[in-house]
Structure 1
Amino acid sequence: MGRLFERLLSRVFERQVLVPVLFLAAVWLGMSLGTNFYLRWVESRYDALFSRNLASMQASALLSHLAADFAASWHESRVTGAELRQRWDGTLGERLRLESLLGNAGDEPGVSADRDMIQDLLSGLEQLVLREGVRGSVERLQDQQQTGEFSELSGRAVSLALDLSSRNAGVLQSQRQALEILHYRVMLVRMLVLLLGLPVGVSLGWRVARRLESEVSQIAVTLGDTESLSDSRQMEFRITRQSRFEDVQRQAERVVDRLRYFAAELQSVRQEVIQSERLAAVGELAAGVAHELRNPLTSVKLLLQHAAKRGGELQLSGEQGALILGEIRRMESTIQGLLDFSRTPVLNRVSHDLRTTVQRSMNLVEGRLVQSGIRLEVQMGEEPLLVHADSEQLNQVFVNLLLNAAEAMPAGGLVTVRLTGSEDCSVARVEILDTGPGISPEIQGRLFEPFATTKERGTGLGLAICRRIVRDHAGQIQADNRPDGGALFRVELPLADSLCGL
């Protein structure tokens, strides 16, 4: 499948399929987690309610048992007051357990009132037992007032126990019914969601399919020959709603094949353009060589013809001989420059301080600068600028730039050499500034091309060689006019190591 088709499917899948599916999955996950948390909450709520009511029901049953058992002991004729008190003391464990159950029954207002009433009843029974502790059973049974009071207290205890048990059973039943209703509603909603899941999933899948179909139906790729708009109709593809993904894939593969064809054609045209540029450069080079060699040859030819016209042996004056030698040296310089420009040098790279190389170059041209009345100003930091480069080749670049600056100021001036490092400590920068007339606008755009020069006597190969050397070192060379007059040449070279920031 072509890359274009893959990108299309990826974009459509992310926007039209993945997002809705993730959203639906998040909804289902949230519903499931919410339902599970709710069921857990209902279970814990019912357990807490049952625990409180169970304690209250146990307390009522224990109270009813104590009241009935002690009432039987009160009316037993053979039980003396001391034995009655002893039996009361024997119920201490049951009374303590009753108090514990009442404490576990909760702090609701109704429970608190029942707890106080039971405490009053137990206190009243305890007072009666203490008063009967010194009397016999006959005296106790003949005391109608005491017996009536005891019967009232025990009856109230039994009635309270029955009422408490009945009330707790009713509360438990009502709460259970309420929880069952709520649970039923939640489970009903859950069942509705589960039942709706199938049609919702089908609807979502249908919607995704329709969106995909809509996206596919909008594909229209048009490729054609740029030279003729009518030919582009042959590369126009339309995908209809009846098309399948296999059709789209086949169309995409056809597009990829056509793109490969056009890429090959473009590469072929590019090679032809490069070849044409090379031929143009060779032609320009040949024109430059012809110009540089023809002028001195013409001068030599004229001198020889003039000497031949005088008759006799060919004789040249000392001035004419010197002129011929000068023109020959000029041709030799041109030829040597061509050789230097065409030769690919083998760089002898070593790690060294760029400041040392620049200082060496300044020392070589210092005499020429002093002779021309040119002052030299150096701005150089104390930190070493370590580069991994051929110092001899770089020395040739800097000497050439310094000599160009000197030749631009025949009446004297100022040459400034500035060495700095970039802020990120990755590049060493050498700038050579002069106060001459600057770079001529008609040559500034092609300053670093071969034979580009405005000098009366010069090959125009120096800056071209400088650019090639700097590029061989993965650097850059730039030239511009200064705002206050003069030219600025900047050479940037990658640093091999740096101490900046230390």
Structure 2
Amino acid sequence: MRYTTRLTLVFGLIWALMLALSLLGIYGALRAGLEGRIVHQLLDDAGALAELYNSGTTGQVRPTGGTAVALYDASGLPFLLDEPQHRIPAEVLTQADEGPQLYRGPGFVAAYVATSIGVLAVSQDLGFIDRLLEQVARVAVLIFLLTLPLGWLLVRVGVGWANRPLVRAAEEVARRKGADLSPIPYDGPTDELGRIVARFNDLLAELREARERERVFLAEVSHELRTPLTVLAGYLERLRKRPGDTEALAGAERTARHLTRLVGDLLALARGEAERTVNPHIVDLAELASGVTAGFPGVGLELRAAPEVLGDPDRLIQLLRNLVANAVRAAGRPEGVRVTVGEDDGRAWVEVADDGPGIDPEVLPHLFERFARGPEGGTGLGLAIAKQIAEAHEGTITVRSRPGHTVFRVELPGLEGEG
């Protein structure tokens, strides 16, 4: 069953119930109003007639308009009774006093009051109310039968109009192919449905961005793998021609290790397992930074302290090498990069600064995400791996940037703090 049909059915049933309850309410209110009016009038009439009888100025009183008058003696026997079917039981009349009281009998209602000559009763037949209400009930049923389909039609039109944005959005989603990640058009109000469509479009945008990052990532990784593979193939060709070429053999082994580490980084990053491959040793952070900067001639180094940390030297070298390589790429030259090592309050830190163009503020929140690429290019892996390595050592990595000055800061627990 379609959503619009279900809503129409539900609201149609609610409309039918409300209509029926309204007509029943009108019926009950009309009966109560008529009977209340009659009771009020009878009590007034009984009081007025009692005053006349007590004053001795009454004449002959005859029923008019369906109202009957009766007089009873002190024992409850009638000596004037216009309507025999309106007789009030003697045990009720013995309780009469000077104030008018009410008695409801079968098909009639009476007001009685004690007077100087007996008990006076004024009664009214209620049959006319039943006959009137029968007519009202027939009219109510007719109104119900005529109004119900009209109400259902209005409900159907109203539900269809209110659900037009939902229907159009559902039809658009149903027509989509799996590769189509364009936004779902929506021209309805900003209600719950509008917020759902907006959030759905946000998710589609995130998927588009993720797909684009993955495409770029695959292209960049293919390029990164192609270069060492080409080098490795060259070394192997030299070895084929000159089997005893030790230089070619060393180069091939070095390139193979580079490829192995790159593929391992890809797997570890994809699985989130960088933190599981830490092999801790006591590491001199200043010595480690000196070794990394030596591989980038021209990069400046400032040693404000020589802190020791408990960590995996290979992983920490990889972290710093990634940061320095990114900085050199951003600055465009090694001389624009400076590495500083220090220690504050038992925490060791390393800062890698460059004088490049800076990082776009829109890129900063996503800089350490997998497949994200900064303005300097690269595979989009280096900073994500650096973040995992820092967190695997219970440390942090942060960045601050403005045009001409970008600083990556890594903080690690000092060796004294580990104890």
Smaller-chain TM-score range?
0.3 to 0.5
**If each structure's strand is expressed as a fraction of its own residues, which one has the higher value?**
2
Which of the pair has more CA radius of gyration? 1
Q: TM-score, normalised by structure 1?
A: 0.36
Q: TM-score, normalised by structure 2?
A: 0.41
